[in-house]
């Protein structure tokens, strides 16, 4: 006779040494003794009588026990031992629980390293070590929840590093792809996270583009009293308007102060082409001062705490916040939008020269990408005019917009 929920709830132990067995059919029964109520399943496999422990009532209710019985019967029909399958599943669960996210992530970082250049690999590893591992590194990979990933991304978003945030999200997804292949997880918890994050693309980062406000920003930068490395980086970034990670990873081997040029190798560039940044007199002067401070180490702007590493990704944005410019007003990436707007609208510079200097994908009439030295002389003159214009804004000189001239 099949059991009922009421019978199971009211069932009492009669005091027998072996306990009381109440059958539900199909080999399933409830064992009641002086300790508790236990679900058991008797079955035969390979000619041997066996018993499968299903669980404890009420943690495992009647309906769940019956589902387990039915699943066991399906396994038997397929020639599989339910007891052996349960042991294997337990082993897999234990193995997955012991696989921390950081362990799987480092395996992926090593396995995929050949697909990235050395500089990119260093940057990706740095992202994981600084932003990801402190939050979820010690969490079993099969226990990382979508809310954990969203929290991590929102922390990066709050710091204003939107481009890095989206790249990190994509890399985390790759880690979970590996985890799924290794059967450590069944799904990727990063799915759907991107849609919950702030939509922002290159050229749409928070930026100040009104001349009067730019002048105030530059005066604030020149009055900054923070660390000398950061102070120099803050002064230089408006003059060169490269992507923030390019500035952070600038190396002295790329700087030619005599030629007044910064030659960034292709492997560091988003467009995978060499890029030349002509250095205006003001920019070269800042770099000479930095050289006197730190000598010829690898990085022009080394980490304050670790000389062998570049400046932290958050340094520029943190300094801007300390000056009163929050992420929704101005970011390190915003200097690019500032230069693009003012060079065009206020100084009337050629758009193709501006795009070249921003290292955007500019092509010639035949559809070919220009090389790094294209229009270099003209760009050098433009960069000096830009630096002089910024000085006028900072000093409060009268600057007449091109349209009003």
CATH code for the domain in which residue 232 is found: 1.10.443.10
Domain boundary among 48, 65, 89: 89
Rg over alpha carbons for the chain, rounded to the nearest Å, is: 32
| 83 pLDDT higher than 90 | no
Q: Is 288 found in the same domain as 164?
A: no
| 263 pLDDT higher than 70 | yes
Domain that holds residue 61: 5-89
Q: Is 36 found in the same domain as 130?
A: no
| 213 pLDDT higher than 90 | yes
Q: Is 105 found in the same domain as 85?
A: no
**Residue 206 maps to a domain:** no
CA–CA–CA angle 348, 353, 357 (5° rounding): 115
Q: What are the distances in angstroms from CA 335 to CA 229, 235, 239, 242?
A: 18, 11, 9, 8
In the DSSP assignment, the letter for residue 197 is S
Confidence of residue 371 (pLDDT cuts 50, 70, 90): low
* Span of 180-184, 224-228, 233-237, 269-273 with lowest mean pLDDT: 269-273
pLDDT tens by residue, 314-355: 899 999 999 999 888 899 989 998 998 899 888 888 888 888
| 7 pLDDT higher than 90 | yes
**CATH number of the domain enclosing 124:** 1.10.150.130
pLDDT recorded at residue 136: 94
pLDDT recorded at residue 405: 36
Cα 308 versus chain centre, distance:
22
Q: What are phi and psi of 200, to 5 degrees?
A: -155, 130
Q: Is 324 found in the same domain as 239?
A: yes
* Span of 131-135, 157-161, 272-276 with lowest mean pLDDT: 157-161
Confidence of residue 196 (pLDDT cuts 50, 70, 90): confident
Determine the average pLDDT of the residues in 234-246: 93
Q: What are the distances in angstroms from CA 158 to CA 53, 154, 197, 318?
A: 50, 6, 11, 11
pLDDT recorded at residue 309: 87
Domain boundary among 89, 117, 134: 89
Q: Is 248 found in the same domain as 137?
A: no
Determine the average pLDDT of the residues in 286-315: 86
b vs e for 348-368, b when ≥16 Cβ sit within 10 Å of the residue's Cβ? ebeebbbebbbbeebeeeeee
Q: Which pTM does this prediction carry? A: 0.52
Q: Is 187 found in the same domain as 47?
A: no
In 10 A of CB 235, how many CB atoms? 19
Q: Is 367 found in the same domain as 222?
A: yes
Q: Is 149 found in the same domain as 253?
A: no
Strand-pair partners of 51 = 42
Average pLDDT along the chain: 86
Q: Is 391 found in the same domain as 341?
A: yes
When comparing pLDDT for 387 and 370, which is higher? Answer: 387
Q: Which two tokens stand for residue 266?
A: 């292709």
| 365 pLDDT higher than 70 | no
Q: Is 142 found in the same domain as 28?
A: no
**Residue 204 maps to a domain:** no
**Residue 96 maps to a domain:** no
Confidence of residue 382 (pLDDT cuts 50, 70, 90): very high
**Residue 188 maps to a domain:** yes
Q: Name 103's Cβ contacts closer than 8 Å, sequence gap at least 6.
A: 141
**Residue 202 maps to a domain:** no
**Residue 180 maps to a domain:** yes
pLDDT recorded at residue 366: 46
Determine the average pLDDT of the residues in 360-374: 53
Q: Is 378 found in the same domain as 321?
A: yes
pLDDT recorded at residue 367: 46
In the DSSP assignment, the letter for residue 252 is G
Residue of 300, 277, 289 lying closest to 383 (CA atoms):
277
Q: Is 173 found in the same domain as 85?
A: no
Domain boundary among 143, 173, 196: 196
Domain count, the chain: 3
pLDDT tens by residue, 12-52: 999 998 899 999 999 999 999 988 999 999 999 988 999 99
**CATH number of the domain enclosing 49:** 3.30.160.390
* CA diameter of the chain: 105
Determine the average pLDDT of the residues in 240-266: 92
| 8 pLDDT higher than 70 | yes
Q: What are phi and psi of 273, to 5 degrees?
A: -130, 145
The angle, 0 to 180 degrees and rounded to 10, between the axes of the packed helices 101-111 and 118-127 is 170
Exposed, middle or buried: residue 254 (CB in 10 Å: 0-12, 13-18, 19+)?
middle
């Amino acid at each position: 006779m099949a059991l009922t929920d009421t019978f199971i709830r009211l069932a009492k132990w009669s005091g027998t040494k072996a306990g009381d067995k109440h059958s539900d059919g199909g080999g399933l029964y409830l064992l009641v003794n002086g300790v508790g109520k236990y679900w058991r399943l008797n079955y035969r496999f390979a000619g041997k009588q066996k018993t499968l422990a299903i669980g404890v009532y009420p943690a495992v209710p009647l309906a769940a026990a019956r589902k387990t019985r039915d699943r066991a019967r399906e396994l038997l029909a397929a020639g599989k031992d339910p007891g052996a399958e349960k042991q294997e599943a337990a082993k897999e669960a234990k193995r997955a629980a012991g696989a921390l996210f950081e362990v799987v992530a480092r395996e992926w970082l090593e396995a995929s390293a050949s697909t990235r250049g050395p500089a990119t690999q260093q940057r990706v590893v740095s992202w994981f070590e600084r932003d990801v591992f402190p939050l979820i590194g010690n969490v079993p990979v099969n226990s990382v929840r979508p809310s954990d990933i969203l929290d991590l991304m929102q922390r990066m978003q709050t710091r204003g590093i939107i481009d890095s945030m989206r790249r990190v999200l994509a890399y985390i997804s790759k880690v979970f792809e590996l985890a799924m292949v290794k059967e450590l997880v069944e799904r990727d918890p990063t799915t759907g996270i991107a849609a919950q994050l702030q939509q922002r693309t290159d050229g749409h980062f928070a930026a100040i583009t009104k001349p009067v406000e730019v002048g105030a920003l530059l005066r604030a930068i020149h009055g900054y009293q923070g660390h000398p490395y950061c102070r120099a980086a803050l002064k230089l970034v408006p003059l060169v308007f490269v992507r923030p990670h390019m500035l952070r990873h600038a190396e002295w081997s790329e700087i030619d102060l005599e030629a007044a040029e910064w030659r960034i190798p292709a492997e560091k560039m988003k467009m995978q082409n060499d890029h030349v940044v002509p250095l205006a007199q003001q920019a070269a002067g800042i770099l000479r001062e930095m050289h006197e401070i730190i000598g010829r180490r690898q990085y022009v702007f080394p980490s304050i705490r670790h000389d062998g590493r570049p400046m932290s990704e958050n340094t520029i944005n943190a300094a801007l916040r300390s000056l009163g410019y929050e992420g929704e007003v101005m970011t390190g990436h915003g200097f690019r939008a500032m230069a693009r707007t003012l060079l065009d609208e206020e100084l009337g510079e050629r758009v193709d020269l501006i795009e070249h200097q921003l290292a955007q994908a500019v092509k010639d009439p035949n559809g070919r990408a220009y090389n790094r030295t294209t229009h270099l002389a003209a760009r050098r003159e433009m960069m000096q005019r830009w630096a002089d214009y910024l000085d006028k804004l900072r000093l409060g000189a009268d600057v007449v917009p091109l349209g009003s001239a």
